[in-house]
Amino acid sequence: MSEHSPTYGHNEPPQPSRLENEIAAKFAGIPNAQLIRKMEKAQDFGYDDEEFELNRRLKLGGLAWRWSGDFYRPTVEVYKPEDVDES
């Protein structure tokens, strides 16, 4: 919460953490397609930073990703999630 803000932190988007900034800087200039290729080639669960950055980027565009159903050669599938009304 910022004491210098007239809203005192209300209705302001949360500021990224130091770690979030470091991950974004680590992958600055690397296109999404290259992040996806790195994830697809990585050892099991060896792609945490790439996954975090891809999630951040896709969320900005209203997109998400999931692993394909191919057990032997899984690939990343980018998709637009449908709005789900949970009322």
pTM of the model: 0.73
The pLDDT of residue 49 is above 50:
yes
The answer to whether 33 and 51 are in contact (CB under 8 A) is no
pLDDT band at 83 (very low <50, low <70, confident <90, very high): low
CA dist list (Å): 82 to 59, 62, 79, 85: 13, 10, 9, 10
Please give the Cα distance from 83 to 85 (Å, whole number): 6
The pLDDT of residue 31 is above 60:
yes
Q: List, for residues 62-74, the tens digit of each pLDDT value.
A: 999 999 988 888 8
Write the DSSP symbol of residue 14: P
Average pLDDT of the segment spanning 78-83: 88
| Structural domain boundaries in the chain | 18-79
- For residue 52, what pLDDT is reported? 95
Residue ranges in the chain assigned as alpha helix (H): 18-26, 32-41, 48-60
